[in-house]
Amino acid sequence: MDTFGIWVAAFLTLGIISFLYRDNPWYKVCESIFVGISAGYWFVTLFYDNILGLFWRGVTSPDPHYMLLVGAVLGFMMLLRLVPPIGWISRWPLAFVVGATAGLYIINYFSSNVMLQVQSTLAPLFSTKFGQPIFEASLYDTIGNLVIAGGTFTGLVYFFFSKEHKGVFGGAARIGIWTIMITFGASFGYTVMSRMSLLIGRMEFIFGDWLRLIR
């Protein structure tokens, strides 16, 4: 069965790769299979893990959680979008999702991505940790902490568009854009690494598992 599976997987893998040559029927067939299979995968998994596992078992358990019925009603309202005359009712569960996400994000993002980041940026210059003796800090850490503080500050200055980028402010914004450019460069490097890794994984399958050319 695995041998058949390997051949099926190889056929599909090569079908997708054939797009490099040009858009062709083989690729389109594989693409359609992918769309159908992934939609079906989510459909089945969510039924068992969520509808059955969370809702149904929660409501029918010896200690039933009837409040789950409210969630089920909201979920059903969401599905009513498929019925155009009453599709507007799906706005209610959507409003719930938007409200819950907004409420959660206000706190989460402000706490984790603003307050804690600012706190971490204002690190002591001569030592990486509070309480360490000053002479234990290396020049490496001191320069690093300066770069972090300066880079973050000037980066934020660059994003401040309410004032024209001129004079000292403009100079700071310029350093900010340099920092951000280096950051983008690092991200590009990692993206290349990431994409190549995925290709390596597929090529190992083709040349190893299927063609058995790799030891």
C-alpha span between 101 and 85 (Å, rounded): 28
Q: Between residue 149 and residue 168, which ones bind other proteins under the rule CB under 8 A? A: 149-156, 158-159
Q: Between residue 166 and residue 205, which ones bind other proteins under the rule CB under 8 A? A: 176-205
Residues in contact with other proteins, shown as a per-residue x/- string from 108 to 137 under the rule CB under 8 A = xxxxxxx-xxxxxx----------------
User: Which residue in the set 104, 132, 138, 171 belongs to the binding site for other proteins (CB under 8 A)?
Assistant: 104
Q: Which stretch binds other proteins (CB under 8 A): 100-108, 131-139, 165-173?
A: 100-108
Please report, for residues 10, 200, 201, 203, 207, the alpha-carbon distance to residue 6 in angstroms, rounded to integers and kept in the order given.
Answer: 6, 17, 14, 13, 12
Burial of residue 176 (CB within 10 Å: 0-12, 13-18, 19+) is buried
Is residue 114 within 8 Å of 133, Cβ to Cβ? no
CB of 175 to other proteins, least distance (A): 10
Is residue 169 within 8 Å of 144, Cβ to Cβ? no
Residues in contact with other proteins, shown as a per-residue x/- string from 51 to 90 under the rule CB under 8 A = xxxxx-xx--x---x-xx-xxx-xxx-xx-xx-----x-x
Lookup: tokens for 35? 């769309």
User: Which residue in the set 103, 122, 138, 171 belongs to the binding site for other proteins (CB under 8 A)?
Assistant: 103
